[in-house]
Amino acid sequence: MLRSRRLLAFSSRVHTYTLLLYVFFFIVYILSGYFAVEAAFIDLLLFYLTLVGWTNLLFGFWVLIFSLIVYAGAGILPVSEIVLTIIRMAAVYTLGLVATIVENILSGGVTIG
């Protein structure tokens, strides 16, 4: 069971790194609005944001399920891994929502009426 808890801790750390990678692409996407870049670069950034975002969310679900497996085997609920995973997943979802809103405003504009 110690191996399972170590694997859970490592998985939680990897999930944090995917969040940092997502934040990096998000910052590059936001900064691309201040500099002259091509549309292909924006499309590539949006693709990477989508890819890393879905990877982060699916990996987060795996960490949550694995936390329950560890709980079933050891009898100790890894609360910190569960709470931190949910917070990281919520952060990715929120940043994805902001990126989508910014992209819709930049590509379609704002319509009042």
Residue-wise pLDDT tens digits, 72-106: 988 888 999 999 999 999 999 999 999 888 888 87
In a domain, 39, yes or no: yes
Residue-wise pLDDT tens digits, 13-47: 999 999 999 999 999 999 987 888 898 998 899 89
In a domain, 94, yes or no: yes
Q: Where are the alpha helices (DSSP H) in 32-112?
A: 39-74, 79-108
Number of domains in the chain: 1
In a domain, 14, yes or no: yes
- Model confidence at 8: pLDDT above 80: yes
- Model confidence at 107: pLDDT above 90: no
Neighbouring residues of 27: CB distance < 8 A, sequence distance ≥ 6: none
pTM (predicted TM-score): 0.86
- For residues 52 and 17, give the distance between their C-alpha atoms in angstroms, rounded to a whole number: 11
Give the domain range for residue 38: 2-108
In a domain, 113, yes or no: no
In a domain, 99, yes or no: yes
- Model confidence at 53: pLDDT above 90: yes
Region label for 76, one of left (φ > 0), alpha (ψ between -120 and 50) or beta (otherwise): beta
